[in-house]
A and B are shown apart, each in its own frame.
Chain A
Amino acid sequence: MSQPLTQIEPLSQPVNIGEEIATFSPEVEAEIDRHLAKYPVMRSAILPLMFIVQRERGYLDPPGVAYLAKRLKLRYTDIWEVATFYSMINLKPVGRYHIQICKTLSCKIMGEEKITGHVCQRLGIKPGETTSDGRFTVSMVECLGSCGTAPMFQINFDYHENLTAAKVDTILDSLP
């Protein structure tokens, strides 16, 4: 059964880049310089720089894209084509705490669904959503290499392993 065309989501939304270019503190600029110095070809630094822009601005926003294009001497489309490929590059804002629950096989058979259910019930959101106060985003992600300590999730860059509902509560209660 073929689906009507209207159900197919467009691959990307047109983005208004605007004129604004992001600026960063001298410390951040120095950090960026250190990354650029590693590579014989500037473009290689694109992913480390995207993480820095994302850290500083919450996500890779259009002024951030414009900054990278200028800094790496690339076109805007060069930046977008890379940004849209990698799942860790956020093209829209995420919560202050990004809870990334591993859904792949080892976690799945060790109780991932219970953890997901508990997290979502507690926060009142579904996977892919952000709480209205902007504090939490829940995402389902593929294998994070924590299979022997499943089930697990990552909050921002921190691993939390051997999860139980009680442990999830302790972790979420401890977040500032």
Chain B
Amino acid sequence: MFIGAIGCEPLQLARVHLENSHTLEVYRSHGGYEALAQALSSMSPDDVTNEVKKSALRGRGGAGFPTGMKWSFVPKDSPKPKYVVCNADESEPGTFKDRYLMERDPHLLIEGMLIAAYALGAKRNFIYTRGEYKYLIDIMDVALAEAREAGLLGDRILNTSFSCEIYTHTGAGAYICGEETALLSSLEGLRGHPRMKPPFPAVSGLYACPTVVNNVETLTAVPDIIKIGGEAYQKLGTEKSGGTKLWSVSGHVNRPGVYELPMGYDDMEKFIMEDCQGMLGGKELKAVIPGGSSVYVMSADQIIGRDVRMDYEGLVAAGSMVGSGGFIVMDETVDIFESTKNLTEFYKHESCGWCTPCREGTDWLVKVFKRIETGGGVPGDAQLMLDLCDNIEGKSFCPLGDAAAWPIQSAIKRFPEDFRKRLENE
């Protein structure tokens, strides 16, 4: 599997190929913790937030919300403790970038969290990692102990007045806990149910205190933003999508892997056919899910010859989304009815059961898929599924419902033949 940068110098993946890249010694000998030292010695907390704002860094977990703005929502005058929580619950099908960041460069995450904690005035912080990634929790615990030993964590970090702790926390198998409010419920020891927004976590998050929840990839971008400056980081990408982005490539390509690309990389066809070394076995491209399972599936004719720019705006214009960057490539042998059924079963399993549209809707959708699969389909079923999706989309308590509806809506619209065949029982 490939791990590296294409079309830019590696930033977040700069150290992943070094021997013992997970150790403090290697991290420090390659510029590690210099950004933290710089922030603590010559920047105020507001300066740090302003640099992140200038960088045009957008949340890499999937929603793409501007990170600097998220930080600035934390009330400065609150007497309550503040928390930075790292979302390492990576569970979006097709996404595996955070895993390699934590495995190969755990200190980059620690440094990013420390800088965020400094900017926000947070003293106690958590890394919420999905339970299946236990080996990564072990890696992070070792790295945290190393940092503590070296005076980079705990009381009076680097001999300044800044004190801060970071702890690991484990999930236990629930996709919904990647949604930030559900994650906070889970971290409080409850079922992972999402909460009503507002109040947003920045005002009332963990233990009803001001909290910022950021994805691993978002926090690991922060040290470089401090080092090279927000403006320089933004210029690596586009005006509204700053910096670089990690794409987790899987499916029918010759070279799957984690690719760091500058935001605005031009274009998707070249990326698949050249950078990922083309289609496995020379087969034809049929479909791509570019941003994790929750985004619209794209057909080959939306990509080939269409000059699709790989950034937030470019992918929306092309009919999908950046999401988490979980890039699933499917060749001509894949039946989009089956692939959509597979994802619908995922959402049914992972629906937390809190709200009716999502809990009942995903269940009904799976029932309809199964009936069609066993030969019981009728021509009205495509419309029936679209109606069910319409009753979920925008009507569920959290975005999981939308995420369940979008793959089906786009699949029926863009691959009508794969559904027609089933519904007319050909």
Complex-state Cα separation, A56 to B391, whole angstroms: 45
Complex-state Cα separation, A48 to B289, whole angstroms: 34
A-B contact pairs, 11 of them (CB 8 A): A38-B126, A44-B187, A45-B189, A47-B171, A86-B131, A87-B173, A89-B173, A106-B251, A109-B339, A145-B98, A145-B99
Chain A residues lying within 8 Å of B187, measured Cβ to Cβ, are: 44
Complex-state Cα separation, A105 to B134, whole angstroms: 23
Decide if B173 touches A88 in the complex (CB within 8 Å): yes
- Interface residues of B toward A: which range? 35 or more
- Binding-face segment, B8-16, B87-95, B111-119: B87-95
Question: Shortest CB–CB separation between residue A72 and chain B, in angstroms?
Answer: 8
Decide if B93 touches A82 in the complex (CB within 8 Å): no
Q: B248: CB under 8 A from chain A? A: yes
Chain B residues lying within 8 Å of A43, measured Cβ to Cβ, are: 188-190
Complex-state Cα separation, A84 to B91, whole angstroms: 19
Minimum-distance CB pairs A-B, first 3: A43-B189, A147-B250, A86-B172
Chain A residues lying within 8 Å of B342, measured Cβ to Cβ, are: 103-105, 108
Q: A117: CB under 8 A from chain B? A: no
Decide if A88 touches B172 in the complex (CB within 8 Å): yes
Q: A81: CB under 8 A from chain B? A: yes
Query: B243-261: which residues lie under 8 A (CB-CB) from chain A?
Result: 248-252, 256-258
| Contact of A51 with B250 at beta-carbon distance under 8 Å, contacts A105-B93, A108-B342, A147-B96 already known | no
Decide if A104 touches B93 in the complex (CB within 8 Å): yes
| Contact of A147 with B328 at beta-carbon distance under 8 Å, contacts A87-B173, A105-B343, A142-B350 already known | yes
Complex-state Cα separation, A97 to B201, whole angstroms: 40
Chain B residues lying within 8 Å of A41, measured Cβ to Cβ, are: 188-189, 207
Decide if A157 touches B135 in the complex (CB within 8 Å): yes
Contact with B along A39-73 (1 / 0, CB 8 A): 11111111110110000000000000000000010
Q: A23: CB under 8 A from chain B? A: no
Q: B238: CB under 8 A from chain A? A: no
Q: B302: CB under 8 A from chain A? A: no
Complex-state Cα separation, A46 to B93, whole angstroms: 27
**A40-B81, A85-B192, A87-B174 are known contacts; what are 5 more A-B pairs with Cβ within 8 Å?**
A39-B167, A106-B93, A110-B250, A145-B91, A148-B1
| Contact of A38 with B93 at beta-carbon distance under 8 Å, contacts A81-B191, A148-B250 already known | no
Q: B106: CB under 8 A from chain A? A: no
Chain A residues lying within 8 Å of B124, measured Cβ to Cβ, are: 40
| Contact of A145 with B90 at beta-carbon distance under 8 Å, contacts A40-B124, A105-B293 already known | yes
Nearest A-chain residue to B81, judged by Cβ = A40
Q: B271: CB under 8 A from chain A? A: no
Contact with B along A97-140 (1 / 0, CB 8 A): 00000011110111000000000000000000000000000000
Question: Shortest CB–CB separation between residue B339 and chain A, in angstroms?
Answer: 6
Decide if A148 touches B249 in the complex (CB within 8 Å): yes
Q: A144: CB under 8 A from chain B? A: yes
Q: A143: CB under 8 A from chain B? A: yes
Decide if A145 touches B192 in the complex (CB within 8 Å): no
Residue among A44, A46, A86, A159 making CB contact with B135, cutoff 8 Å = A159
Complex-state Cα separation, A51 to B129, whole angstroms: 14
Chain A residues lying within 8 Å of B258, measured Cβ to Cβ, are: 148
| Contact of A142 with B99 at beta-carbon distance under 8 Å, contacts A47-B189, A109-B251, A157-B134 already known | no
Residue among B134, B172, B189, B256 making CB contact with A87, cutoff 8 Å = B172
| Contact of A148 with B91 at beta-carbon distance under 8 Å, contacts A43-B188, A86-B174, A142-B349 already known | no
Decide if B191 touches A82 in the complex (CB within 8 Å): yes
Decide if A47 touches B135 in the complex (CB within 8 Å): no
Decide if A145 touches B190 in the complex (CB within 8 Å): no
Complex-state Cα separation, A48 to B330, whole angstroms: 38
Nearest A-chain residue to B94, judged by Cβ = A147
Residue among A38, A89, A142 making CB contact with B169, cutoff 8 Å = A38
Question: Shortest CB–CB separation between residue A7 and chain B, in angstroms?
Answer: 13
Query: Max chain B CB contacts within 10 Å: which of A41, A45, A144, A145?
Result: A145
Q: A164: CB under 8 A from chain B? A: no
Decide if B339 touches A44 in the complex (CB within 8 Å): no
Complex-state Cα separation, A52 to B98, whole angstroms: 25
Chain B residues lying within 8 Å of A94, measured Cβ to Cβ, are: none
Decide if A105 touches B328 in the complex (CB within 8 Å): yes
